[in-house]
A and B are shown apart, each in its own frame.
Chain A
Amino acid sequence: MSVKKAKLHRLYDVNGWMFVSLAVGLIALMTIYPVIKSLWLSLHSGRGVVTHFVGFDNVVRLFYDPVFKKSLVNTLVFLAIQVPIMIILSLSISSCLNASNLRFRSWYRLAIFLPCVTSLVAYSILFKSMFAFDGVVNASLLWIGIISDPIPWLSDPFWSKVTIIAAITWRWTGYNMIFYLAAMQNIDRSIYEAARIDGVSPVRQFIFITVPLLKPVILFTCIMSTIGTLQLFDEVVNITNGGPANSTLTLSMYIYNLSFKFVPNFGYAATVSYVIVVFAAVLAFFQFKVAKDK
């Protein structure tokens, strides 16, 4: 390489680093350093900033902490029930919206997408007021005749979970729908024509054509929703405040309580937060593998 070329190459490299340095530096400082620091904190215990090294005592403590167990189970219940319901619902909606000569298509799409525009706090408060014991949801269900007694949506451990699941599903179904609609536009219409001529019913077309072809997008939305639900916070704080009797307490809310509500124990809170990190890491690994197989 000539001197001039080497000089140009160096200039190219310097310019490249200049452009990315601010962003990389900030992510290193605001994401990578804290996540490592969090691991270090999890080996400590104490009140506030006065801490001492305890090794893996915090991990052991997890196993004897009923509140942690409860918040873990709650989070997993929300995940296991809400994510599949929402994915199936938004897939069904998208394939209806994708049907040929559907009237009012853009109006339906607009209406179903609109919930995504609301802030998490705002819609949580709406749901809290709608699901009040004498509120509009119970009144409507009683009027239609689906139930004969009002449901204690917010004050019963089981129904409060249902309320949270209903709320998240309302907020995010339209969001996922947009991804599916975009992916469906890339599916060749003639496949459906052929299936229709062969007498394949719409439901079977959906299961055997649409779903397999959308697999990558479905996986992507599943992982994004799972990570979102793992961090569930705004809704439970504002709808049920974790209650009744911790029945809607999530991991994120427990971490918040441990750090900022009770006498702060940052070390133990960091340990709980690493439970979420481990879940996310497993998902990331899974996504990476699938992306590589493609």
Chain B
Amino acid sequence: MKKIRLNRAVMYVFLTIIAVVSLFPFYWMIVSSTNQTSQINSGKFTFGDQFWINLHNLSEQVDLGVVFWNTSKIAILSTVFTLLICSLAGYGFEVFKSKNRDRTFNALLFTMMIPFSALMIPLFIMFAKAGLLDTHFAVILPTVSAAFIIFYFRQCTKSFPRELIDAARVDGVKEWQIFAFVYMPIMRSSYAAAFIIVFMGSWNAFLWPLIVLQSTELKTINLILSSFNSAYAPDFGLIMIATVMATIPSLVIFFAMQKQFVASMTGAVK
């Protein structure tokens, strides 16, 4: 019995240390947004009074409204289109099964393993030739059809009751109407889960936007953050406020939809 209690104690200590380490950077981020750079660099981890000065400095350097508009616009558009295109495909592969489509689906699964670094140069050349560099369209287009999300929707469709489709067909409802008015409303929670993964992926994207977007007025929050950070003497005070702002949307979505979030992450392995 004594040994078990000791094991328990070790376990609690271990978990507590891990939890503290996991949370500390969040605390650090918030505290540092109230301090000035020299204090951040010397490791001050108590609240200061520089918050408004940092915010003022930040808003003088960038137009925060524009940056947030750019980031939200890209994230929302690419999420909406990804969900639409990938759920159509997932539904199509599962409801209209055929040998050739299954072969196509397997080929799509293999594209999941292709690293983005091998695509970025040809993609860059393609968009340059089309004269579409430095547009939000170019940021969004390569992301809207993702094999992983198609796979996810196909898995979800497996649990969709077929009788509903058959009944609608008997009533003479067109196939696209079945999808739009029967399937989509019933699969709300699957869409919610996919929304979280896709939105976060897009909100947090860095490499492709970095390659495509050159004009300051088109840049997303991550690009702005990175360029502040790469300055010779970065002003961490204002950077920290921008970091807080970049993190808040993800945090809000996470806390609002915690259940679906965990479900979406594990849904694919089951």
Binding site for B on A (CB under 8 A): 12-13, 15-20, 22-24, 26-27, 30-35, 37-38, 41, 49, 89, 92-93, 96-97, 99, 102, 107-108, 110-115, 117-130, 132, 134-140, 170, 173-175, 178-179, 182-183, 202, 217, 220, 227, 230-231, 233-234, 237-238, 241, 251-252, 255-256, 259-260, 266, 269-270, 273-274, 276-277, 280-281, 283-284
Provide the bound-state CA to CA distance between A237 and B225, in Å: 12
In the complex, chain A residues whose CB is within 8 Å of the CB of B23: 111, 114
* A19 and B111 contacting across the interface, CB-CB below 8 Å: no
Q: How far is the CA of A283 from the CA of B113 in the complex (A)?
A: 8
Chain A to chain B: the 4 pairs with minimum beta-carbon distance, closest first: A19-B92, A16-B96, A23-B89, A26-B145
Q: A16-B95, A238-B230, A259-B121 are in contact. List 6 more A-B contacts (CB 8 A).
A: A20-B93, A27-B147, A113-B262, A122-B222, A123-B25, A273-B120
Could you jot down 26 A-B contacts, CB within 8 Å?
A18-B92, A24-B104, A30-B123, A30-B141, A31-B147, A33-B122, A38-B121, A112-B18, A112-B22, A118-B25, A119-B203, A119-B204, A122-B243, A122-B247, A132-B40, A137-B43, A175-B265, A182-B262, A220-B269, A227-B115, A230-B115, A231-B115, A237-B226, A256-B211, A266-B121, A273-B115
- Which chain B residue shows the least CB distance to A285? B113
> Given the complex, which residues of A lie within 8 Å of B89, measured CB to CB?
19-20, 22-24
B246-260 interface code vs A (CB 8 A; 1 in, 0 out): 110011001000100
CB distance A125 to B108 under 8 Å?
no
Of the candidates A30, A89, A121, the one whose C-beta lies within 8 Å of that of B142 is A30
Least Cβ–Cβ distance between A151 and chain B, in angstroms:
13
State the CA gap A84–B53 with chains docked (Å). Answer: 44
Contacts of A134 in B (CB 8 A): 41-43
Is the CB of B68 closer than 8 A to any CB of chain A? no
Cβ of B47 under 8 Å from chain A: no
Q: How far is the CA of A233 from the CA of B115 in the complex (A)?
A: 12
Q: Which B15-47 residues sit within 8 Å CB-CB of chain A?
A: 15-16, 18-19, 21-23, 25-26, 28-29, 32, 40-45
Q: Which residue of A31, A137, A217, A274 has the most chain B CB atoms within 10 A of its CB atom?
A: A31
Chain B residues near A34: list those with CB within 8 A.
Answer: 118-119, 121-123, 126
> Inside 8 A of B122's CB, which chain A residues have their CB?
33-35, 37-38, 41, 270
Q: Is B168 an interface residue (CB 8 A)?
A: no
* Contact (A270, B101) CB under 8 Å given A22-B85, A126-B243: no
Closest residue on chain A to residue B37 by CB atoms: A129
- Which chain A residues lie closer than 8 Å to B207 at the CB level? 233-234, 252, 256
Task: Determine if B117 is an interface residue (Cβ-Cβ < 8 Å).
Answer: yes
Structural contact, A112 and B200, CB atoms closer than 8 A: no
In the bound assembly, the distance between CA atoms of A129 and B175 in angstroms comes to 55
How does the 8 Å CB contact mask read for B148-172 relative to A, with 1 for contact and 0 for none? 0010000000000000000000000
- Given A34-B122, A202-B7: A178 in contact with B204 (beta carbons within 8 A): no
State how many angstroms separate the Cβ of A153 from the closest Cβ of chain B. Answer: 12
Taking CB atoms, residues of chain A closer than 8 Å to B115 are: 227, 230-231, 273, 276-277, 280
> Which A residues lie within 8 Å of B194 (CB)?
none
Other-chain contact of A121, B32, B206, B270 (Cβ < 8 Å): B206
The answer to whether A121 touches B119 (Cβ under 8 A) is no
> Closest residue of chain A to B143, judged by CB?
A30
A97 touches B15 (CB 8 A): yes
Q: Which residues of A contact B101 (CB under 8 A)?
A: 16-17, 20
Q: Among B15, B93, B247, point to the contact of A119 (Cβ < 8 A).
A: B247
CA of A174 to CA of B144 in the docked complex: distance in angstroms?
A: 27
Collect the chain A residues with CB atoms within 8 Å of residue B246's CB. Answer: 119, 121-122
Instruction: Determine which of B126, B206, B243, B251 lies in contact with A117 in the assembled complex, contact meaning CB atoms within 8 Å.
Output: B251
B113-A281 in contact (CB<8A): yes
If the complex has contacts A12-B96, A16-B98, A120-B206, are A183 and B86 also in contact, measured as CB distance less than 8 A? Answer: no
In the bound complex, how far is the Cα of B42 from the Cα of A138, in angstroms?
A: 10
A96 in contact with B92 (CB, 8 Å): no
Q: Are B117 and A273 in contact (CB-based, < 8 A)? A: yes
Whole-angstrom CA separation of A129 from B241 in the bound complex: 13
A99 to B97, CA, bound (A): 43
Q: Is the CB of A126 within 8 A of B28?
A: yes
Q: Known contacts A111-B22, A178-B262; is A13 also within 8 Å of B111 by CB?
A: no
